[in-house]
Structure 1
Amino acid sequence: MNNSLTMQVVGEFIGTIILVLLGDGVCAGVNLNKSKAKGSGWIVISFGWGFAVTFGVFCVSWLCPGHFNPAVSLGMALANKLPWSSVLPYMLAQTAGGFIGGILVWLTYFPHWEETTDKEGILGSFATTPAIRNYTWNFFTEMIATFVLVFGLLGLTNTKLAAGLNPLLAGFLITAICLSLGGPTGIAINPARDLGPRLAHQFMPIANKGGSDWAYSWVPVFGPLLGGVIAALLFNVIV
């Protein structure tokens, strides 16, 4: 993959749209009334996000590294696996992709918002909300989960793998994190995955929506960024 920065940014944008459309799509399917997936639970959501990552990467692997996540891009730059000049363009593209992905989820499930009165469930179809609101511990959960994600992805970069296996393993990693660490916060581990769709929730005329919970919104942005930084710094020390 030797594409120009412009094409890499396009790839990150498109890939993040796919990630959020499939990932938040499974959340909407589980949360919204009269959806055939209504109430199918956290295991379905966890596997849905894992598959979303895997196939998002496969869709654009010929264009970009397939980060779809500012915390991953920052960690890769700190570990000297991504040029620093790429970090900000990647982050902006990823966040914009998250916004468009959120809009597509809204359109995909358009009749179901009118049938749903659970405002938290509607917001949870776009962005994360904590099970127990404690900003300190919510932040720690996001930080440690993203540490596992970025350290795991950096480990994959140092492992000889068969062609095409990396996206599959990344999806397994996401699923494992969701299943094991997702209970406290719904696990964003990705500022773009949370902020972009949260903006879509804020600005789109979604039926029956409540507030976008901006008081919590800093947690799934800065917790993952710090977790990615710590993972990259530890990786650098070990390697």
Structure 2
Amino acid sequence: MDITVGTVFLSEVVGTAMLLLLGGGVVANVVLAKNKGEGGGWLLINFGWGLAVFAGVTVAYASGAHLNPAVTLGIVTSGATEFAPGVPVDAFSILAYIGAQMIGAILGAGLVYLAYKKHFDATADPALKLAVFSTGPEIRSYGWNLVTEIIGTFVLVFVVLGFGRAGDGELESPAGLAALGALPVALLVVAIGASLGGPTGYAINPARDLGPRIAHALLPIRGKGSSDWSYSWVPVAGPLIGGGLAGLASTALLPIV
């Protein structure tokens, strides 16, 4: 059965909102004051983001659950002709996916703020408040931070495409993450965070970083400080480059068998 672009748009909004609600939520639980998870550390955040991907992918099955402009771009550069049955790869559908992902990310971040409103108020450090919404480097070096994001996103999109191609040249499911089942993708995100996430916090998704950063700038968060716009281009450009390169590489390195 063909899927309409409207269905794709709604699916991506819902899935990305779920991703950011649970992903941003685990960061808020760990870093904001007077939380039961306060001080839970990197591993809790890492596994929380993996499970957030699991939930987001599960509810965005109709669109293929890209939830990430880098994934969308990687599918384009891999030479795919459809994002989903009846949804061709063209400028309109690309904009629909990416627009929905951005809207969903902003909505999900806003829900995190509502859930943790009193804890944002109780936290003095504005950097911790920003960390709930967006990523930042441990050592600020824009060029090397960009390289880290390119590599991490390349791994994400390349392995996702590998999942989709393994042993089956005629997938009938929508292209993207939901075609694989949610669990392998969630474990992949945990692996990337554990292995490559230390330098920059592994945005590996432009919508995941830029959407919540916009929400941070707009929301009436007490004592929130700067949204760090000087860094904001890195978690957008890096994932887009990495995702696009992964799609191109897949055409030669991931033959359909």
Retained in 1: the 8 A contact 2:164–2:180? no
Aligned residue type for 2:135 = T
CA distance in 1, matches of 2:15, 2:180: 18
Say whether residues 1:213 and 2:219 are aligned partners: no
Say whether residues 1:168 and 2:183 are aligned partners: yes
Name segments (4+ residues, structure 1) moved above 3 Å.
none
Q: TM-score, normalised by structure 2?
A: 0.89
* Equivalent residues in 2 for 1:145-224, closer than 5 Å: 145-160=152-167, 166-224=181-239
- Per the alignment, residue 67 of structure 2 pairs with 68
* Equivalent residues in 2 for 1:68-87, closer than 5 Å: 68-81=67-80, 82=83, 83-85=89-91, 86-87=93-94
Say whether residues 1:142 and 2:149 are aligned partners: yes
Give how far 1:106 is off: 0.4
Give how far 1:80 is off: 2.7
Give how far 1:78 is off: 1.3
CA distance in 1, matches of 2:151, 2:180: 25
Aligned residue type for 2:116 = Y
Relative distance call for 1:160 and 1:35 in structure 2 (3 A) is farther
Give how far 1:2 is off: 3.2
Aligned residue type for 1:170 = V
Aligned residue type for 2:216 = H
SS at match of 2:181: helix
1:9-41 deviations in Å (ceiling 9; x for gaps): 110011000000000110111110001010101
How many residues are matched?
237
Aligned residue among 95, 99, 123 for 2:106? 99
Identical-pair percentage:
48
Retained in 2: the 8 A contact 1:156–1:166? no
Aligned residue type for 1:158 = R
SS at match of 1:125: helix
Q: Which moved more, 1:43-52 or 1:79-88?
A: 79-88
Question: Any unmatched runs of 5+ in structure 1?
Answer: none
Retained in 2: the 8 A contact 1:78–1:229? yes
RMSD over aligned Cα atoms: 1.5
Give how far 1:160 is off: 4.9
CA distance in 1, matches of 2:21, 2:186: 15
1:184-217 deviations in Å (ceiling 9; x for gaps): 0011000000000000000000112110000000
SS at match of 2:63: coil
CA distance in 1, matches of 2:167, 2:252: 21
CA distance in 2, matches of 1:84, 1:230: 19
1:36-63 deviations in Å (ceiling 9; x for gaps): 01010110111111111111111121x2
Retained in 2: the 8 A contact 1:75–1:229? yes
Aligned residue among 108, 112, 116 for 2:123? 116
